[in-house]
Each structure stands twice: as C-alpha cells, then as structure tokens.
Chains A and B, each alone.
Chain A
C-alpha cells in the first residue's frame, strides 16, 4: 500500500524491448519533499523507468500513479517536471529566451513568466549572462539552465536524469543547492546518478536497480545493514613487511607494508591489532578508519563485472 505521503508510486512496472527486459516488476515510491536517488549500472533500466514515468515509454504491465492518479497516455501532467540527461535547451537562444520559451510552452501567464524567469536566473546564478546565447556557456552553466527549464512551471515532482554529469565541483555544489531549495519548498525529486558519494551525501533514500529489477532500497544505514554490514575498514601502514598476518588481517599483495582489516567494533579491536603489529617488531606509521560506503554497498549488490 502506498504511504499517505507518497507523491509518486511505481508498482510492478514491466517493459520489454524485443527480447531485452528493460524493467521487471519495478516497485518504488517517492515521498513529498524527498530527494530519492535511483542508482544502477549502465543499462540497468534507470532511464527507461524515468521515460516511463514521463510518458515516453508505454509499460507492458504495472501502474504509475502521481498524487494517487494513474498516469496514462502520452501527455506529461503539469505536476511533473522533466530534466533529461541531454542538454535540452536551444543553443542559439539566450538563457532568458530559453526559460521564457519553456514557460510559455508550459502554459504560464505572461506576468508569471517574467517572475519565474527572474527566479530561475537567480537560482542558476546566470543573471549576468542572461542575454547571451546558450551555445557559449560552460558545461556547468548549461546544466544549471537545463534544470531550471525543467522546473520553470513549478512542478511538484521532478525527474532528473544525471543532472550533474560532466560538471566541475563548483557547479555541482550549485546544482545541489538548487535541488535543496526545491525540496525545502516541498518539491519531490527523483534523480539518477553515477556519483555515489553525491547520492550518499545528498539523498535521503536510495533505490538500486539492476537488470531491470529493484535489488535494494532504503536509507544508507538500511542498505548497509541489508548488504555489507556495519563494519569499519581499517588500513594500517607499517614500517616493514610482517612475517605473519595477524588473525583477520589481509596483507596487500603489491605493498606488503599495507594491512587491511574489517573491524565490527573499532574501540575494542583496534588496540589489539596495533599490539599484534608491535609484537612483530614493526611500527605503525599511519591508520585510516572508514565506515561502510554506498560504493561498497553498490559493488556488493551489482558486482565488479563491467556493464556495457
């Protein structure tokens, strides 16, 4: 059953292109004001799912509901905003003209258009370049404009397909500031990304999809519990190679001075590890302690095999 705060639900979505299964019984939900990350290797079905929600792909089975209403037909409802992976703006038009054009196409009134264009130029930090053709913009500027064009009509739910691909850290920060502003206003965002550290840091929940199926979903702690467990990865750099690896410790094959161990309780187990190293006449030169990451969860779930 859908949660009362769910604004978008996908239930049992299934889609085949010829013999290729793109989506298989995909079920997920997006809650109000949430930033939900949709992760998956290349070809996992993320873009197909985004296109199905936006009406560009007709499902073979399953149902998609927006605010409780089933989505059907080719028309995208006005509550839904789309930010495609491609830079879907007119390069010969200026930033202001692009924003105004998409606002008009979305049916906004003239007075509202002026106000929304001002807002969009401010949040994208493009006010100084507002009247220049977009073709001369940097990748980050185009990305910000691309997002602004997708939300110019105040949609309540926005689908973003790789909104930060190919941009520098500064632009990425600005983009996430924009997205944070939207969620604070109650807008719900579903985004796909390959930047796992971003998803980990910025998104409230994560859905991982592979081979067209949802293979895990939840907050990062939930995903960690479901998969790799809450260990800490401890890496030691020692003064010389050990004669024998202490119990539970792995010696790096290429650099025998590097030792790794997974400790479930650092406070209890780390002193014992340091003592074991000293007992072999070596000094500990550096210690690195890391918690379980989304990257570890992702690799655990989807494997290391290349996907093309």
Chain B
C-alpha cells in the first residue's frame, strides 16, 4: 500500500517539471549565487574599499600616512577633486560631499598639527586627532579602514613616533644620558622606512595607537539615533512587493481558467485596457504595501519617514509601477498558476539576493555589484538609500527613476506581447 503511494508521488514529481526545478535547481542556483556573493570566487573579485584622504597638515608624518594608505592593496585612495588623480587636492568639505553622495564610504582627514602632536607623542589632551568621516550604512568599511589606518600610522613613521616618545620620556623622567642618546640615535635611522621598505610586509602593530588619536564621525546620521532600518525596510519591502504583485497578477491565469478573461475580452475593454487596469491596481496596491511597511518602520523602529516624504513617495510610486509591470510580465509568460509560482520564486529570490534585498550590495565584490545592477531590486534600493541616507534631492534620484521607468516600460511591453496568445488562437 505504501509502495503504491510512493509510486504515485514519484510519478507526479517525475512529470512535474516545475516541482523538479524547485526541488533540485533552485537550491543549486541559490548556493551558486550566495557562494559568488560571500565566497567572492576565490578572492579574485575582492572589493577594494574606496576612500578619500585629505592632508591638511602637509607634514612629514601626514605625507607618510597618505602614502602608506595609497600603498594598501585593500584600499583605493582618492586625494584630488578629480577622480583621475589630477587637479587640486581634496579639502574636508569636498571629502564630506563624496561620503554623503556615496562615492566613497570613508574619508580620512589628517588635521593640521598632526605631525607636531605626534612628535610630542600625543602629550596634550587637545592634540589634533585623525578624523574618519564615515557612512555607517556600510558597517564594515569604516572599521576596516580604521584598522588599516592604525597599521599605516605605525609602519609609516615609527622613527617620528620614537622621537616623540623619547621627548615625552625626557619631559617626565629627565634627560637621557649621553650613552642612552647615542643608542637612540643609532636606532632611529633603522626605524625610518627606507625607499625599499614596504608597509604591506610589515607586521601589524599590537601596541595600539601610539599617540595618534582617531575619531570616527558618522556624517550621515550626525545627532540621530536611527539605525539601518530604512535600508532593511526598503530591502525587505521591495522583495515582498515583487512576491505580492506577482501573486496578484496570477489573477489573469485564474480568469483564463474560469473563462472570465474571455468574457472580459469580449467586452469593449480589450487586452490593452485589461492590462492597463490590472497594472494600475497592482501599482496602487504596491504603493499601499510599501507605505504600510515604512509607516510600521516609523512607529516601531523610529524610521525618519516624515522628513523624507517627497522622496519616499516618488521612489515608491516608481518602484511599485515597475514591480507591477514585472508581475504582469511573469503572469502573461506563465501557462499555469503552478508555473507562475515556480518561475516567480526562482526569479524574485535570485534578483533579491543579487540586487541587495537580502545582503547589502556595497558589501559584495565589485563584479557582483555590477551584476546586481541588472536587477530591479538594485535600482529601487539605491533610490531609497539616496532618499533616507544621503538626504538626496528629488532631482538626484533621476538615474534610479529613469532605470525603473525603463524597466516598467519593458516589462509592460513584454506582458502585452505575451498576452497576445489569449486574444486569438
């Protein structure tokens, strides 16, 4: 008896290609995607962190730190206004703008007096400190840059730090004896990094900051206690928006099965009118869904929705419109509800993982970030990030809005083409 049931189940699975794809193909597909995103394909696609460096001190120490940072393979340093490395040097305001606009996640300010303070071995409480201007929407880059900065400051100028340390020692413990001074002077040239020295080969200091203080400043959220809620509201919201509009678009297939589609097509509406009506409804539904999501974010997590209403509304309208087009395209492509369910699960989860709904794109390798731009999610999330994190003006959203409008048009065009099969056989 159980054998018969086993045989029936096996036969059903054998003859249902969608079930086979969901059972065997989907896990392999997702394993591949996540291995690419997190495994970084053997390190070939490792992302270099883009940073801006502003040298306000122009001392030997600051130059050595800037050069040391530039030599780090994990970093891509920009110190000029022109991204190509030409023209005037960056100032603090320009570097801050780069962080705000998202061009770099971190900017390092080497303040005036840094070299002198280091030479004094940080003796004064009011000594200038290196500032690390960061966008903490990227939780990894600022910490990584902080660590590299400590390493570079130690390895780039150990002689200067040594001299400062000796001066501090003499200040509190009395002058060195002639023998001691001779020994120090003998060591100092050996500590100075020579032309052939490479900070990359130097062991990371375990001794701590050694007199150079570093402050991390979150310039995006200064004075605000808000967390990454807006990012996750957008990420999760867009993914579920895709699922819900695709499910609702499946009403086309239900109506085809029930004969209602034929009846509607026999009225004055026609297929164009029917798709337009469905698209409008799905767009409004998506708009409502994302609004509820963000309102809940405001109520439960303190999301700063009310200071970003115009940007939120524009992004949500375009996102919902494009998602509605996507849902209709899949529904008109599929032959049955089961097929729609299978296809949409695979496509939406793939797009969501590549497009940053599950894992922020800025933490992916550069290759994967570029691949992500092929997805609907990436453009929508970039837009929300601009609105909520970068306080972007409406006009600054144009690349995302153009992309979403283009995607919506393409999706609807394809849906109209696929729907021809229902009109006339």
Contact = CB atoms under 8 A, between A and B. Distances in A.
Interface of A: 17, 51, 54-58, 74-76, 78, 80, 82, 84-90, 102, 105-107, 149-150
Contact of A55 (B263, B266, B268, B269): B266
A88 B260 contact: yes
Contacts of A106: 267-268
A75 B263 contact: no
A56 B265 contact: yes
Contacts of B267: 76, 102, 105-107
B259 A85 contact: yes
B interface, how many residues as a size bin?
10 to 19
B423 interface: yes
A161 B306 CA distance: 57
Interface string B248-273: 00000000011110111111111100
Nearest to A15: B425
B70 to A, nearest CB: 66
A197 B267 CA distance: 33
B424 A74 contact: yes
Contact of A74 (B258, B259, B264, B270): B270
Contact of A86 (B259, B264, B270): B259
Nearest to A73: B424
A51 B425 contact: yes
Contacts of B425: 17, 51, 56-58
Nearest to A86: B259
B423 A84 contact: no
Nearest to A159: B266
B263 A150 contact: yes
Nearest to B424: A58
A102 B263 contact: yes
Given A51-B425, A55-B424, A56-B424, A78 B262 contact: no
Given A82-B262, A87-B258, A105 B424 contact: no
A17 B425 CA distance: 9
Interface of B: 257-260, 262-271, 423-425
Contacts of B269: 105
Contacts of B264: 105
Contacts of A90: 260
Contacts of A82: 262-263, 266
Nearest to B257: A86
A84 B259 contact: yes
Contacts of A75: 268, 270
Residues of A contacting B: mostly: loop
5 contacts: A54-B262, A74-B270, A78-B268, A86-B257, A90-B260
A90 B266 CA distance: 16
Contacts of A149: 263
Given A74-B424, A82-B266, A89-B260, 16 more contacts: A51-B425, A54-B266, A55-B424, A57-B425, A74-B265, A74-B423, A75-B270, A76-B267, A84-B259, A84-B262, A86-B258, A86-B259, A88-B259, A90-B260, A105-B267, A105-B269
Nearest to A48: B425
A62 to B, nearest CB: 15
Nearest to A104: B267
Nearest to A87: B258
Given A74-B270, A105-B268, A106-B268, A88 B424 contact: no
Contacts of A51: 425
Contacts of A78: 268
B269 to A, nearest CB: 5
Nearest to B422: A56
B414 to A, nearest CB: 19
Nearest to A89: B260
A55 to B, nearest CB: 7
A57 B424 CA distance: 5
A102 B266 CA distance: 10
A106 B264 CA distance: 9
A304 B258 CA distance: 32
Contact of A88 (B263, B268, B271): B263
A80 B263 CA distance: 11
Contact of B265 (A76, A80, A86): A76
A117 to B, nearest CB: 16
B256 to A, nearest CB: 10
The 5 closest A-B pairs by CB, nearest first: A86-B259, A88-B259, A105-B267, A76-B266, A84-B259
A106 B268 CA distance: 5
Contacts of B423: 56, 74
A85 B263 CA distance: 11
Given A17-B425, A51-B425, A107 B268 contact: yes
Contacts of A105: 264, 267-269
Nearest to A22: B425
B337 to A, nearest CB: 15
